[in-house]
Amino acid sequence: MKLKDKVAIVTGAASGMGKAIAIRFAKEGAKVVLSDINQPALDEVVAQIKSENGEALGITADVAKKEDTDNLVDLTVKTYSTVDILVNNAGIMDNFVPVAELSDELWDKVIGINTTGPMRLIRKCMPIFLKNGKGIIINNASIGGLFGSRAGAAYTASKHALIGLTKNIGFQYANLGIRCNAIAPGGVITNIQTTMDNPDKFGKERAMSGSANNPRFAQADEIAHIAVFLASDDSSFVNGAVITADGGWTAY
């Protein structure tokens, strides 16, 4: 097992890619701490992992709230004494809202969950990683963080920022045993669409104008396999990188 006895935190783990990553990590031997705002769904995933002889702990957390991210790490350390792997997966969409229609409220919400939350979790885990002389950070970004219009202005900015943060941390801490990488998925079958309501017509039309070129949508488990690679020694020389996983969509 590639992650035997490693302690991993996975945010947004009640569904979609986060759920698939948490389940896959547990199958690889990790002790997985799952977080999400949806407590009933989170409990179901924890129960599923335990039913398959995996080790898991569910902690309700809103990654946009500092007290929740601090508590998530503190409870992980209290339970398992350390953190080896941090997967920043939790994220929301932005209704395809273009900048002319963008409110401060929507901007703050999207940036808070997609960018500030991951930064705070990384910052909170960093003293643990530095003390241990090792640590793995995986940020689930998006091809929206590589290109200009796969969503609205806030989501696009949040994922570009997350990729920039990934590269900065990857290089700055490279000599201290810490690796930080990102995954940039294209279309994946998840429930992230439920984070949108009443999408902006103009913004959606512009953002989806290239969608016909998408070869296919991925299953969440296909992204989870990449996360296992990045979390394991198989990727020991991969750092500050962004792995695009979009079935060839952006190769057009």
Q: Among 162, 164, 80, which Cα is nearest to 121's? A: 162
The catalytic position among 80, 155, 173, 252 is 155
Q: How far is 203 from 149, CA to CA, in rounded Å? A: 9
Clarify whether 252 is annotated catalytic. Answer: no
Q: How far is 74 from 72, CA to CA, in rounded Å? A: 6
Q: In what order do the strands lie in the sheet with 7-11?
A: 55-60, 31-36, 7-11, 85-88, 135-140, 178-185, 242-245
Tokens representing 176?
A: 């201290």
Q: How far is 157 from 40, CA to CA, in rounded Å? A: 31
Q: Answer whether 29's CB lies under 8 Å from 52's CB.
A: no
Q: Which amino acids are annotated catalytic?
A: 155
